[in-house]
Amino acid sequence: MKNSFKDFAMNENNPKWNNVISRMAPLETRKTDIRSSFDRDYTRIIHSNAYRRLKHKTQVFFSPENDHICTRIEHVTHVESISYTIASYLGLNTELTKAIAVGHDLGHSPFGHEGEKIISKISNRDLGISFWHEKNGLDFVDSIELLVGHDGYKNNLNLCYGVRDGIISHCGEIDENALRPRDEFIDLNEYIHPNQYAPYTWEACVVKISDKISYIGRDIEDAITLGILDNHLEELYNLLNYDSSEALNNSTIINYLVCDLCENSSPEKGLCFSQKAFELMNKIKEFNYKHIYFSRRTLTSTKYFELVINEIYDILKVCYDNTNTLLNLSNLKKFYPKLSDGFYHFLENYCDFANREELKLKNKIIFDISNEQDFSRAIISYISGMTDNFVMEMYNEIIRF
């Protein structure tokens, strides 16, 4: 029902308010600033380089030259739009959903989920931990992404707890039909695997559901555009009980699921669909896995992704030699100047070997490159931030003479 969650919206009257707006450090303010805490986080995210790079990162289909296939930045825009509609109707804080939505996928690697799996194999092998984009997203907004402040110095994004929580808690692979926020104000570094905890706010729960609503329909639309579903359209029409008088596209699916969710959700029941809509959503997801995500056409590029990411990682990792690491990286410049320079300048921002005053850095130091695991973590962070286009450019530099 409309405004049925207004008493639970994240505002000064909510008992979680002080926790949700808390930051790891005080945020610089202007006397003329008219933005709320969440609106400030929204603008900090959209001005970050990680956000800008989303436009050249794969969503599902690796298609860097097709302007009409969904990329990661279009996906987060869809999630922002859907979550805004739901939160506005239910009476929740739309500024918080907007900030979470635009930031929720900042941790995605190049080549979409396939790239994520490849990096996770490397991370498990060399660090003993899995790589997953929700956790990487939190790491990026906490430690990697830098913004220039009023004083001209670079510092960390330093987002509110509520936005950070929404980023690491957003895992869209949900199968339960009733989502409620948790009560515990936890250290977000306690997360060790995706979907471990429910989000802390109703607004983050809205973004989590909006993520799923966003991708299941758009992936079908793109697959139809690319001809991947040519032999499965009848099955799809039967599944959706398709009425040929209405266009079959992402908008049709989104509208049905959003309206159903808004009509059936309540603070008592949680954010939920009708049983009919919930079952349909799961059937669509099953159809997508069978005919889209696991199709031969989609998976053909995986071998290429593995080659590209592993080769870049291996080229950089061979530079590690305790105190000689920077010298080895410098020597690499003779053969791979752009890769060597790029990684060196990346390390300057997060290690203590650089002149931080000269570089105008006030962010956290997070890597000790004399430590092999730290060096591996740095390479993984560097690669995970690359766009599809840039990671391919680095690979082409490696293989050409």
Retrieve residue 173's tokens. 């692979």
User: How far, in whole angstroms, is CA 259 from its chain's centroid?
Assistant: 25
Strands 146-148 and 154-156, bridge-based pairing: antiparallel
Do 151 and 285 reside in the same domain of the chain?
Answer: yes
| pLDDT at residue 243, rounded to an integer | 61
Residues 260 and 174 in one domain: yes
Residues 320 and 346 both lie in one domain:
yes
> Minimal CA–CA distance to 64: which of 389, 333, 307, 371?
389
- What does the pLDDT look like over 130-154, one tens digit per residue? 999 999 999 999 999 999 988 899 9
Residue linked to tokens 């590029």: 301
Are 60 and 172 contained in the same domain? Answer: yes
Q: Give the DSSP H/E element, type plus range, for residue 96.
A: helix 94-103
**pLDDT tens digit string along 189-236?**
999 999 999 999 999 999 999 999 999 889 998 998 899 999 998 888
| Nearest alpha-carbon partner for 197 in 168, 176, 225 | 168
Give a yes or no: residue 377 inside a domain: yes
Question: Are 211 and 192 in contact, with CB atoms under 8 Å apart?
Answer: no
> For the segment 243-274, what is each residue's pLDDT rounded down to a tens digit?
655 656 678 889 999 999 999 999 999 999 99
Is it the case that residue 242 has pLDDT exceeding 70? no
- Residue 10 sits in the same domain as residue 154: yes
The residues that bridge with 271 in the sheet, in sequence order, are 179
Separation between Cα atoms, residue 126 and residue 306, nearest integer Å: 16
pTM of the model: 0.95
Which of 82, 387, 56, 37 lies closest to 257 in space, CA to CA? 82
Domain that holds residue 239: 6-28+35-106+145-298
Residue 263 lies in a domain: yes
Same domain, 10 and 70: yes
The number of C-alpha atoms within 13 Å of 253 and in the hemisphere containing its C-beta is 26
Q: Among residues 249, 266, 298, which one ends one of the domains?
A: 298
Asked if residue 254 and residue 343 are part of one domain, the reply reads no
Read off the tokens for 158: 């330093």
- If you average pLDDT over residues 316-343, what whole number do you get? 96
% of the chain with per-residue pLDDT over 70: 97
The last residue of one of the domains, among 233, 265, 298, is 298
- What's the CA gap between 256 and 88, in Å, rounded? 17
Strands (E), 315-383: none
Same domain membership, residue 323 and residue 250: no
Mean pLDDT of 315-319: 98
Cβ–Cβ under 8 Å, residues 8 and 18? no
Tokens linked to 359:
């570089």
In a domain, 120, yes or no: no
Residue 128 above 90 pLDDT?
A: yes
Least confident of 275-289, 304-318, 373-387: 275-289
Same domain, 285 and 236: yes
Distances in whole angstroms, Cα of residue 143 to Cα of each of 148, 359, 378: 14, 17, 12
The pLDDT value given to residue 248: 63
153 within some domain: yes
Q: How far apart are CA 253 and CA 133, in angstroms?
A: 26
For residue 72 the two structure tokens come to 């990661």
Residue 75 counted as domain residue: yes
Task: Report CA-CA distances (Å) from 52 to 58, 101, 207, 336.
Answer: 13, 14, 20, 25
Residue 354 in this model has a pLDDT that exceeds 60: yes
Q: Are residues 330 and 276 in the same domain?
A: no
Confidence at 238, pLDDT banded by 50, 70, 90: confident
Residue 123 lies in a domain: no
Q: Helix (H, G, I), strand (E, B), or coil: what is residue 76?
A: helix
CA-to-CA distance for 318 and 315, rounded, in angstroms? 6
**What pLDDT does residue 46 have?**
97
Using one digit for the tens of pLDDT, what is the confidence trace for 78-115?
999 999 999 999 999 999 999 999 999 999 999 999 99
Instruction: Single out the residue in 274, 298, 322 at which a domain terminates.
Output: 298
Instruction: Please tell me whether residues 250 and 365 are part of one structural domain.
Output: no
Half-sphere exposure of 329 (CA within 13 A, CB side): 25
Element counts in the chain: helices (H) and strands (E): 18, 2
Residue 174's pLDDT band, with cuts at 50, 70 and 90, is low
pLDDT at 15: 98
SS3 content of the chain, % helix, strand, coil (to 5): 55, 5, 40
Full DSSP string of 184-218: ----GGG--STTSS--SSHHHHHHHHHHHHHHHHH
Q: What is the pLDDT of residues 23-53, one digit of tens each?
A: 998 887 777 778 889 999 999 999 999 999 9
Q: Which two tokens stand for residue 133?
A: 């984009």
How many domains are contained in the chain? 2
The whole-chain average pLDDT of the chain stands at 93
Nearest one of 20, 77, 2, 58 to 305, comparing CA atoms: 58
Is the domain of 20 the same as that of 167?
A: yes
Mean pLDDT of 290-302: 88
Residue 297: which pLDDT band, with cuts at 50, 70 and 90? Answer: confident
Q: Which two tokens stand for residue 186?
A: 């936890």
